[in-house]
Amino acid sequence: MPDTLSMDVAREAAALSELADAWEKLFLASGRPHIHQSPDWLTLWWKHFGHGCQLHVLRARDESGQLRALAPFITEPVKGRVARLLGLRQLSFLGRHLVDAAGILAPEGEEALWAERFAQELLKSTDWHTASLRHLLSDEPYAEVMKRCFEKAGLHPELETISRSPRLPLKGSFEDYYAALGTGWRYDIERNQRRLAKAGTPTEFHLTDKVDAAKLAEMHDLNEKRAAAGDTRRTPLLDPARRAFLTDLCTPLSLKKRWRLAELRVGGSLAAYQLGFVIGGTHYFWNIAQAPEHAAYSTGKILLKMNLESCWSAGLHTFDFMAGDESYKAHWTQEGRDNLALNVTRPGWRTRLWKRLTR
């Protein structure tokens, strides 16, 4: 790492668009670029959900002005009447409630060095009193390195596991992988495929890297039917704000071929979909649903088998099920990583009084 580095904090929204090209280049140069750390995702998150927050984006540049590393944070008022009266502010990662992976963007091999540098910069800042840095990944060094830096400064950070992100390495052949799955699981998939065939209704598998408003509307309608049938699981497509965010994402991710939408159609109608992303040889499995009228055939399970097989055929190296410990994921893989939260409160009269009054 060069000694002649300049470090600054971007606080204005205009800085995000100014950084876009350099950010994209740095994003792709990182060891494992995760879609939720891309400039498209985080810049549009700021547009749709940044109200009431303050940007706190740490930028490191070399002597030529080239962006070398980036740490995208925000600060916002701590929730609660007492905290607001005391003027307490919390530090979080940009994108906080709509990311499954967060962290620092740095060139591959330099992650630990930059985690330390940025932690030191955070300690110099007076813009925050408490930090909740969620969705740091257990197989990356950021959480542990930043925790040690905070400890050296006399703070008492806490590191906790908040969820699990199952991952499936796409090694060998799909046929060998599938044959090694549990017999009952395979039998159920194959039995339902036969039942669909006997019903005489044409079944089609579609895969696309382009998503538009019409596709989102069709997925929205399927989720409305699912909700009307009594399914209480949450989906971003039934939340107007999140649907608007996804609509804005359609064009940039379609142009970069980063969407991966798998569909199973029965008799021409959408029976199940799996909406995800592809970048750096990894498929990120993000939002799924099956139509209630086809649920008896386990169309979601059938589609996942087809989707996985297509990932193998496309030469991808990883299928990331993303954060969440839903039981069905364990049937497909036992591997994964943890999502961590690094929490810390700085000492001072405000935080001492806050803790005393809210104990």
Mean pLDDT for 38-67 is: 95
**CB proximity list for 186: less than 8 A, separation 6 or greater:** 178, 179
Of the candidates 36, 120, 19, the one whose C-alpha atom is nearest the C-alpha of residue 70 is 19
SS3 content of the chain, % helix, strand, coil (to 5): 45, 25, 30
Q: HSE (CB half, 13 Å, CA atoms) of 304?
A: 24
Summarised one tens digit per residue, pLDDT across range 83-129 is 999 999 999 999 999 999 999 999 999 999 999 999 999 999 999 99
The backbone torsions φ and ψ at residue 161, rounded to the nearest 5 degrees and listed phi first, read: -90, 130
Q: How many Cβ atoms are within 10 Å of 70's Cβ, its own excluded?
A: 23
pTM over 0.85: yes
- Looking at residue 4, what is its pLDDT? 63
Of the candidates 305, 1, 317, 351, the one whose C-alpha atom is nearest the C-alpha of residue 179 is 305
Angle between helices 240-255 and 39-49 (to 10 degrees): 150
Of the candidates 4, 45, 29, the one whose C-alpha atom is nearest the C-alpha of residue 249 is 45
Mean pLDDT over all residues of the chain?
A: 94
Of the candidates 51, 33, 168, the one whose C-alpha atom is nearest the C-alpha of residue 111 is 33
Cβ pair 312, 170 in contact under 8 A: yes
Cβ pair 146, 106 in contact under 8 A: no
- Element containing residue 102 per DSSP (H, E): none
Of the candidates 252, 203, 242, 205, the one whose C-alpha atom is nearest the C-alpha of residue 220 is 242
Q: 239 in helix, strand or coil? A: coil
- Looking at residue 275, what is its pLDDT? 98
Of the candidates 152, 150, 178, the one whose C-alpha atom is nearest the C-alpha of residue 91 is 150
Of the candidate ranges 27-31, 270-274, 303-307, the one whose mean pLDDT is the lowest: 27-31
Provide the token pair at 191. 């039995």
**What is the tally of helices (H) and strands (E) in the chain?**
12, 12
- Looking at residue 151, what is its pLDDT? 98
Cβ pair 331, 185 in contact under 8 A: yes
Q: What domains are defined for the chain?
A: 6-165+338-358 (3.40.630.30), 171-316 (3.40.630.30)
Confidence check: pLDDT of 40 > 90: yes
| Cα angle: 25, vertex 27, 28; to 5 degrees | 70
